[in-house]
Structure 1
Amino acid sequence: MSDVRPHGIFVWNELNTRDIAAAKAFYGATLGWSFEPMPIEGRADYCIIRQGDTRVGGIFVLGGPEFDGVPEHWFSYIAVDDVDARAAAVDSAGGAVLRDSQGAVSGWITPAM
Protein backbone atom coordinates (compact mmCIF):
# COMPACT_ATOMS: atom_id res chain seq x y z
CA MET A 1 0.00 0.00 0.00
CA SER A 2 1.31 3.45 -0.90
CA ASP A 3 1.85 6.01 1.84
CA VAL A 4 1.09 8.94 -0.51
CA ARG A 5 -2.35 9.97 -1.80
CA PRO A 6 -2.94 9.79 -5.56
CA HIS A 7 -1.86 12.78 -7.64
CA GLY A 8 -4.54 15.17 -8.89
CA ILE A 9 -7.39 14.51 -6.45
CA PHE A 10 -8.96 16.78 -3.86
CA VAL A 11 -7.74 15.61 -0.45
CA TRP A 12 -8.67 18.30 2.10
CA ASN A 13 -11.14 21.11 2.55
CA GLU A 14 -10.64 23.90 5.03
CA LEU A 15 -13.00 26.56 6.28
CA ASN A 16 -11.21 29.87 6.80
CA THR A 17 -13.23 31.93 9.29
CA ARG A 18 -12.95 34.61 11.95
CA ASP A 19 -15.54 33.00 14.25
CA ILE A 20 -14.62 29.38 14.88
CA ALA A 21 -17.23 28.98 17.64
CA ALA A 22 -20.06 30.02 15.30
CA ALA A 23 -18.73 27.77 12.52
CA LYS A 24 -18.53 24.77 14.85
CA ALA A 25 -22.05 25.44 16.17
CA PHE A 26 -23.47 25.77 12.64
CA TYR A 27 -21.80 22.73 11.08
CA GLY A 28 -22.19 20.61 14.20
CA ALA A 29 -25.95 21.28 14.23
CA THR A 30 -26.51 20.98 10.48
CA LEU A 31 -24.09 18.21 9.44
CA GLY A 32 -23.40 16.42 12.71
CA TRP A 33 -19.68 17.14 12.55
CA SER A 34 -17.49 16.95 15.63
CA PHE A 35 -14.29 18.89 16.14
CA GLU A 36 -10.80 18.20 17.44
CA PRO A 37 -8.45 21.06 18.37
CA MET A 38 -4.94 20.95 16.94
CA PRO A 39 -2.69 23.45 18.74
CA ILE A 40 -0.41 25.62 16.60
CA GLU A 41 2.34 27.47 18.42
CA GLY A 42 1.89 31.23 18.28
CA ARG A 43 -1.51 31.08 16.50
CA ALA A 44 -5.11 30.25 17.22
CA ASP A 45 -5.69 26.49 17.34
CA TYR A 46 -6.45 24.77 14.06
CA CYS A 47 -9.54 22.58 14.24
CA ILE A 48 -9.90 19.16 12.63
CA ILE A 49 -13.43 18.42 11.37
CA ARG A 50 -14.66 14.86 11.89
CA GLN A 51 -17.60 12.92 10.54
CA GLY A 52 -17.68 10.01 12.96
CA ASP A 53 -14.13 8.65 13.07
CA THR A 54 -13.15 10.15 9.70
CA ARG A 55 -11.21 13.40 9.37
CA VAL A 56 -13.06 15.33 6.67
CA GLY A 57 -11.51 18.80 6.83
CA GLY A 58 -10.27 21.60 8.99
CA ILE A 59 -11.06 25.07 10.26
CA PHE A 60 -8.44 27.80 10.13
CA VAL A 61 -8.90 31.05 12.04
CA LEU A 62 -8.33 34.19 9.96
CA GLY A 63 -6.68 36.15 12.75
CA GLY A 64 -4.18 38.96 12.54
CA PRO A 65 -3.55 41.86 10.19
CA GLU A 66 -2.25 39.62 7.39
CA PHE A 67 -5.84 38.48 6.84
CA ASP A 68 -7.46 41.93 6.78
CA GLY A 69 -9.77 42.09 3.78
CA VAL A 70 -9.73 38.32 3.19
CA PRO A 71 -13.33 37.08 3.12
CA GLU A 72 -14.34 33.95 4.99
CA HIS A 73 -14.25 31.02 2.57
CA TRP A 74 -13.79 27.31 2.00
CA PHE A 75 -10.35 26.42 0.64
CA SER A 76 -9.63 23.13 -1.18
CA TYR A 77 -6.35 21.23 -1.40
CA ILE A 78 -5.33 18.99 -4.29
CA ALA A 79 -2.73 16.23 -3.88
CA VAL A 80 0.26 16.58 -6.21
CA ASP A 81 3.22 14.28 -6.63
CA ASP A 82 5.84 17.03 -6.29
CA VAL A 83 4.77 20.50 -5.11
CA ASP A 84 7.94 22.26 -6.34
CA ALA A 85 7.81 20.71 -9.82
CA ARG A 86 4.07 21.30 -10.17
CA ALA A 87 4.38 24.91 -8.96
CA ALA A 88 6.99 25.51 -11.67
CA ALA A 89 4.59 24.03 -14.24
CA VAL A 90 1.76 26.24 -12.95
CA ASP A 91 3.97 29.32 -13.28
CA SER A 92 4.88 28.49 -16.86
CA ALA A 93 1.16 27.90 -17.63
CA GLY A 94 0.26 31.40 -16.48
CA GLY A 95 -1.01 30.64 -12.99
CA ALA A 96 0.27 30.79 -9.46
CA VAL A 97 0.53 28.20 -6.70
CA LEU A 98 -2.80 29.27 -5.21
CA ARG A 99 -4.46 30.89 -8.23
CA ASP A 100 -4.92 29.28 -11.62
CA SER A 101 -4.79 31.19 -14.91
CA GLN A 102 -8.54 31.95 -14.61
CA GLY A 103 -8.34 33.18 -10.99
CA ALA A 104 -9.69 30.11 -9.14
CA VAL A 105 -7.77 29.36 -5.95
CA SER A 106 -6.77 26.05 -4.37
CA GLY A 107 -3.95 24.69 -2.27
CA TRP A 108 -1.55 22.03 -3.45
CA ILE A 109 0.12 19.68 -0.98
CA THR A 110 1.97 16.39 -1.11
CA PRO A 111 0.19 14.60 1.75
CA ALA A 112 1.39 11.45 3.48
CA MET A 113 -1.26 8.90 4.36
Structure 2
Amino acid sequence: MGQQGCTQGDLGWSELHTSSATGALDFYAALVGWEKKGEPMPGYHVFGRGGEMLGGMTDAHCGEGEKKMHWMPYITVDDLDATLAKVEGLGGKVIMPAMAIPNDGGRIAIIKDPQGVATGLAQYVKKECTA
Protein backbone atom coordinates (compact mmCIF):
# COMPACT_ATOMS: atom_id res chain seq x y z
CA MET A 1 0.00 0.00 0.00
CA GLY A 2 1.31 3.44 -0.88
CA GLN A 3 0.73 6.70 0.90
CA GLN A 4 -2.92 7.53 1.38
CA GLY A 5 -4.21 9.61 -1.48
CA CYS A 6 -0.97 9.53 -3.45
CA THR A 7 -1.15 6.52 -5.74
CA GLN A 8 -3.87 5.59 -8.26
CA GLY A 9 -5.29 2.16 -7.40
CA ASP A 10 -4.12 1.97 -3.79
CA LEU A 11 -6.52 1.14 -0.97
CA GLY A 12 -6.31 4.48 0.76
CA TRP A 13 -9.01 4.38 3.45
CA SER A 14 -11.08 1.71 5.16
CA GLU A 15 -14.38 2.32 6.88
CA LEU A 16 -16.14 0.02 9.34
CA HIS A 17 -19.92 0.17 9.70
CA THR A 18 -20.74 -1.75 12.88
CA SER A 19 -23.22 -2.09 15.72
CA SER A 20 -20.84 -0.25 18.10
CA ALA A 21 -18.15 1.98 16.65
CA THR A 22 -16.69 2.73 20.08
CA GLY A 23 -16.68 -0.97 20.99
CA ALA A 24 -15.00 -1.85 17.68
CA LEU A 25 -12.39 0.86 18.22
CA ASP A 26 -11.62 -0.54 21.68
CA PHE A 27 -11.36 -4.07 20.22
CA TYR A 28 -8.98 -3.13 17.38
CA ALA A 29 -6.94 -0.88 19.68
CA ALA A 30 -6.27 -3.87 21.95
CA LEU A 31 -5.85 -6.29 19.03
CA VAL A 32 -3.54 -4.36 16.66
CA GLY A 33 -2.76 -1.05 18.37
CA TRP A 34 -5.02 1.31 16.41
CA GLU A 35 -5.65 4.66 18.10
CA LYS A 36 -8.60 7.02 17.98
CA LYS A 37 -7.47 10.06 15.97
CA GLY A 38 -10.56 12.21 16.20
CA GLU A 39 -14.28 12.53 15.57
CA PRO A 40 -14.71 14.96 12.63
CA MET A 41 -18.46 14.34 12.59
CA PRO A 42 -20.64 13.14 15.47
CA GLY A 43 -20.44 9.34 15.61
CA TYR A 44 -17.63 9.01 13.03
CA HIS A 45 -14.40 7.90 14.68
CA VAL A 46 -11.14 8.21 12.73
CA PHE A 47 -8.52 5.61 13.63
CA GLY A 48 -4.85 5.21 12.83
CA ARG A 49 -1.43 4.55 14.25
CA GLY A 50 1.36 6.97 15.02
CA GLY A 51 0.91 10.00 12.76
CA GLU A 52 -1.03 8.03 10.11
CA MET A 53 -4.82 8.00 9.71
CA LEU A 54 -6.07 4.68 8.32
CA GLY A 55 -9.86 4.89 8.29
CA GLY A 56 -13.07 5.51 10.13
CA MET A 57 -15.66 3.66 12.18
CA THR A 58 -19.35 4.47 12.49
CA ASP A 59 -22.56 2.84 13.67
CA ALA A 60 -24.34 1.12 10.76
CA HIS A 61 -27.84 2.29 9.81
CA CYS A 62 -29.59 0.96 6.70
CA GLY A 63 -33.15 2.24 7.04
CA GLU A 64 -36.16 0.98 8.98
CA GLY A 65 -33.98 -0.02 11.93
CA GLU A 66 -31.97 -2.59 9.94
CA LYS A 67 -28.23 -2.63 10.56
CA LYS A 68 -25.76 -4.07 8.07
CA MET A 69 -22.24 -4.36 9.42
CA HIS A 70 -19.36 -4.37 6.94
CA TRP A 71 -15.97 -2.99 5.99
CA MET A 72 -15.86 -0.56 3.04
CA PRO A 73 -12.49 -0.05 1.36
CA TYR A 74 -11.88 3.12 -0.66
CA ILE A 75 -9.66 2.87 -3.73
CA THR A 76 -7.60 5.97 -4.55
CA VAL A 77 -8.23 7.48 -8.00
CA ASP A 78 -6.59 10.46 -9.66
CA ASP A 79 -9.82 11.70 -11.31
CA LEU A 80 -13.08 10.63 -9.67
CA ASP A 81 -15.35 12.00 -12.40
CA ALA A 82 -13.42 10.22 -15.18
CA THR A 83 -13.37 6.98 -13.18
CA LEU A 84 -17.12 7.13 -12.50
CA ALA A 85 -17.74 7.73 -16.22
CA LYS A 86 -16.14 4.32 -16.93
CA VAL A 87 -18.11 2.28 -14.37
CA GLU A 88 -21.28 1.44 -16.31
CA GLY A 89 -19.40 0.73 -19.54
CA LEU A 90 -17.39 -1.87 -17.65
CA GLY A 91 -20.54 -3.55 -16.26
CA GLY A 92 -20.64 -1.82 -12.87
CA LYS A 93 -23.07 0.62 -11.29
CA VAL A 94 -22.67 3.88 -9.37
CA ILE A 95 -24.70 3.47 -6.17
CA MET A 96 -23.67 6.68 -4.40
CA PRO A 97 -22.67 9.63 -6.59
CA ALA A 98 -19.65 11.77 -5.79
CA MET A 99 -19.83 13.77 -2.59
CA ALA A 100 -17.37 15.97 -0.72
CA ILE A 101 -15.26 14.65 2.15
CA PRO A 102 -15.55 17.03 5.14
CA ASN A 103 -12.72 19.47 5.86
CA ASP A 104 -11.68 19.78 2.19
CA GLY A 105 -10.41 16.19 2.09
CA GLY A 106 -11.51 15.51 -1.49
CA ARG A 107 -14.46 13.52 -2.85
CA ILE A 108 -15.80 9.98 -2.59
CA ALA A 109 -18.34 7.78 -4.38
CA ILE A 110 -19.51 4.18 -4.01
CA ILE A 111 -19.85 1.70 -6.85
CA LYS A 112 -20.79 -1.94 -7.35
CA ASP A 113 -18.63 -4.05 -9.61
CA PRO A 114 -20.18 -6.46 -12.17
CA GLN A 115 -20.29 -9.17 -9.47
CA GLY A 116 -22.37 -6.90 -7.20
CA VAL A 117 -19.64 -6.10 -4.67
CA ALA A 118 -19.69 -2.53 -3.32
CA THR A 119 -16.51 -0.51 -2.90
CA GLY A 120 -15.63 3.13 -2.50
CA LEU A 121 -13.59 5.37 -4.76
CA ALA A 122 -11.77 8.40 -3.37
CA GLN A 123 -10.03 11.35 -4.96
CA TYR A 124 -8.12 13.10 -2.22
CA VAL A 125 -6.94 16.69 -2.17
CA LYS A 126 -3.32 16.40 -3.28
CA LYS A 127 -0.75 16.67 -0.55
CA GLU A 128 2.97 16.15 -0.42
CA CYS A 129 3.79 12.62 -1.48
CA THR A 130 7.23 11.08 -1.13
CA ALA A 131 8.71 8.60 -3.54
**TM-score, normalisation: structure 2:** 0.70
Larger RCO of the pair (alpha carbons < 8 Å, separation 6+): 1
For the aligned residue pairs, the C-alpha RMSD in angstroms reads 1.9
Alignment of 1:1-80 (within 5 A): 5-40=6-41, 44-63=42-61, 66=63, 68-80=65-77
Query: Secondary structure of the residue that 1:66 maps to in structure 2?
Result: coil
Query: Which residue identity lines up with residue 28 of structure 1 in the other structure?
Result: A
Q: What is the aligned residue count?
A: 106
Cα offset for 1:11? 0.6
2:84 counterpart residue number? 87
Which has the larger share of helix? 1
**TM-score, normalisation: structure 1:** 0.80
Q: Which consecutive residues of structure 2, in runs of 5 or more, have no partner in the other structure? A: 95-110
Q: 4+ runs of 1 displaced by more than 3 Å?
A: 65-70
User: What CA distance in whole angstroms lies between the structure 2 residues aligned with 1:96 and 1:5?
Assistant: 25
Q: Which consecutive residues of structure 1, in runs of 5 or more, have no partner in the other structure? A: none
Q: Tell me the percent identity.
A: 32
Which has the larger share of strand? 2
Query: Which residue identity lines up with residue 24 of structure 2 in the other structure?
Result: A
